[in-house]
Amino acid sequence: MQYSRIDEAINIMRKNDRGGFTIPTPRLYPFQWNWDSAFAALGFATFDRQRAWQELEMLFEGQWEDGMVPHIIFRRDDPDYFPGPSVWQTNSNPPSSGHSQPPVIASIMRLLVEDGAQFDHQKAEALFDRAFAFHRWWHEARDPDGTGLVAIVHPWESGRDNCPDWDLGMGNIDVDPQLEAYQRRDTSHIDASERPTELQYDRFLTIVKFGRDCGWDQHHIYRHGPFLAGDPGIQFILLRADRDLLQLARLFGKADQAAQLESWIERSVEGCNLLWNEACGGFCSKDLKTNTFTDSLTSASTLCFWASAGTTEQRAEVARQMRAMLENVRHGMPSWDPREGRFEPKRYWRGPVWAVINFMIASGLGELQLIDLADRIRADTLELVEQAGFYEYFNPETGDGLGGGDFTWTAAIYLTWAQGLEGSRAA
């Protein structure tokens, strides 16, 4: 029997298993990452439901008392990665980073419940309160004034680390003169042309130092930290996750939590309007320090379909813009508009295609009956993997695999689509 890509994907998932949680890929990312693990659970669910829920259970082991699920859980130190727990100094148990990542967990939980059996129902119900606390943290710590627009306090919190969306806010950060000397590890594993620049890293670490110096006081970081941005990716992912968690609350008879989720959803729907940039014809990020929009669209802009966000007219305009972006690349969806001068097809989130973003985009498009676009994004993703392998991200012009190889979440998305674990869910 011929060894298939499905077999290879399952093997990658198992190879990256570290005893109940996965790492994204060896050496480059040797710890447990927040949204990586959520998508890993989706992949495991295609062949091992027990292991899928264990991934989420172990992710919640890192949850802070205030409800935050950090973006990295350091279950051990590893000299191959920087910045490790000694840099973050969060004093958490297990050790972790000091901010979060896109809250996709509830959306994955709902998909597993609707695709699964009583076992999945029981597992989701047992984790519901933890997921609800995580959502409450996002709404309270990242939108303390109740505007409906949640913010990020570090580009890493967006999951889209070096996207040009953050250039304005990052450009206004003065590198802390007391920043400790450091040695990056990522560029010893991956070509520097595919990674953030040295100046970006200095500014990334300046933000980390601010959080560490204030003892990771999240409200202080929001009010006074060096970086604050509204991110369509986070806004849409949280809105979708709130709706998915609301469906679970109703399923489990949790009336009080359902009422709170309904309130958050109503507020977030209004908050989406704060990211609509008429000049660009789409949802754009905004530097909240200067109240200034970025000037271009990204793949995160198209996550409005995942969230069913915006008016019918706004979504139609985003679809039009999306088609125009796709006309300029062989493979979608590019993480930055290829019509813009800052487009870099090889550098991380400044142009390359990411399978997990494509999964959310295509799923949302399908639910809104934009079938031709959904089919294009799905087909492009599968073709990229089949031609190049299970890379972290891909060049949208050539199809070349980039970043880390044998990547967990790319394998997970391939399995999800290849094995049919995908539902059309009404919001």
Q: Which residues are catalytic?
A: 161, 392
**What angle, rounded to 10 degrees, do the helices at 408-419 and 5-15 form?**
140
**Count of C-beta atoms within a 10 Å radius of residue 56:** 24
Count CA atoms closer than 13 A to 97's CA, side-chain side.
Answer: 24
User: SS3 breakdown of the chain: % helix, strand, coil, rounded to 5?
Assistant: 50, 5, 40
Say whether 228 sits in a helix, a strand or coil: coil
Q: How far is CA 261 from the centre of its chain?
A: 21
Token pair belonging to 183 = 């040695």
Residue 413 has φ and ψ, to the nearest 5°, of -70, -40
Q: Which amino acid is at 225?
A: G
Count CA atoms closer than 13 A to 324's CA, side-chain side.
Answer: 16
Element (H, E) at 244: helix 232-251
Question: What's the angle, vertex CA 202, arms to CA 200 and CA 208, rounded to 5?
Answer: 105
158-183 b/e (C-beta count within 10 Å ≥ 16 → b): bbbbbbbbbbbbbeebeebeeeeeee
Could you tell me the maximum CA-CA distance found in the chain, to the nearest angstrom? 60
List beta partners, residue 32: 73
Question: What's the angle, vertex CA 76, arms to CA 70 and CA 78, rounded to 5?
Answer: 105
Q: Which amino acid is at 25?
A: T
* Prior bond of 83 cis (ω within 30°): yes
Angstrom distance (rounded) from CA 371 to CA 117 = 29
**Count of C-beta atoms within a 10 Å radius of residue 249:** 22
